[in-house]
């Protein structure tokens, strides 16, 4: 059986590395991207997208809108260190699988990915 691939888009290198270690320890493949633009520049084979809302350049919400506009049905889990009601409401309105506030428990992420990829 093929391992699920999780694409991680976060402009914080230490966060990307930490998430990569967690996900790989739990049996997932990972693709890491420092920006929304970097993600758009490749043909990702991801089964799920873990997406920071606040990125330098194009933000996570805009990336999600572009993917949806292109017909993508890639499940998205939003994450942010700057939680507020407006961001949470927008994430939900965009149809995210989960909305995680940094720092979050690793098990919350694993559960959200399981929901997104099953």
pLDDT per residue as tens digits for the range 21-68: 999 999 999 999 999 999 999 988 999 999 999 999 999 999 999 999
The confidence score (pLDDT) of residue 5 equals 97
Share of the chain above pLDDT 90, in %: 95
Q: Where are the domains of the chain?
A: 8-117
Q: Please say if the pLDDT value at position 106 is more than 90.
A: yes
For the segment 13-26, the average pLDDT, to the nearest whole number, is 97
Report the pLDDT averaged over residues 92-114: 96
Q: Is the pLDDT of residue 16 over 80?
A: yes
Kindly write down the DSSP assignment for every residue of 54-105, as one continuous string: S-SSS-HHHHHHHHHHTT----EEEEESS--HHHHHHHHHTT-SEEEESS--
Q: Are the C-beta atoms of 96 and 89 separated by less than 8 Å?
A: no
Give the model's pLDDT for residue 1.
Answer: 75
Q: Could you tell me the CA-to-CA distances from 20 to 67, 84, 92, 109 in Å, in that order?
A: 23, 26, 25, 12
Q: How far apart are CA 63 and CA 8, in angstroms?
A: 13
- Who's near 110: CB < 8 A, 6+ residues apart? 22, 26
Give me the sheet containing 48-52, strands edge to edge: 29-33, 5-9, 48-52, 76-80, 98-101
Length of the chain counted residue by residue: 118
**pTM (2 d.p.):** 0.96
Question: pLDDT band at 97, cuts 50/70/90?
Answer: very high
CATH code of the region 8-117: 3.40.50.2300
């Amino acid at each position: 059986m093929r391992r699920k691939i999780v694409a991680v888009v976060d402009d914080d290198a230490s966060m990307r590395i930490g998430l990569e270690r967690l996900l790989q320890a739990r049996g997932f493949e990972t693709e890491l991207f420092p920006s929304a633009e970097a993600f758009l520049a490749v043909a990702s084979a991801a089964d799920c997208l873990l997406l920071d809302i606040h990125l330098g350049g194009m933000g996570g919400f805009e990336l999600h809108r572009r993917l949806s506009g292109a017909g993508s049905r890639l499940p998205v889990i939003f994450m942010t260190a700057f939680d507020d009601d407006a961001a949470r409401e927008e994430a939900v309105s965009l149809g995210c699988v989960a909305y995680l506030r940094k720092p979050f428990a690793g098990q919350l992420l694993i559960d959200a990915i399981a929901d997104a990829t099953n």
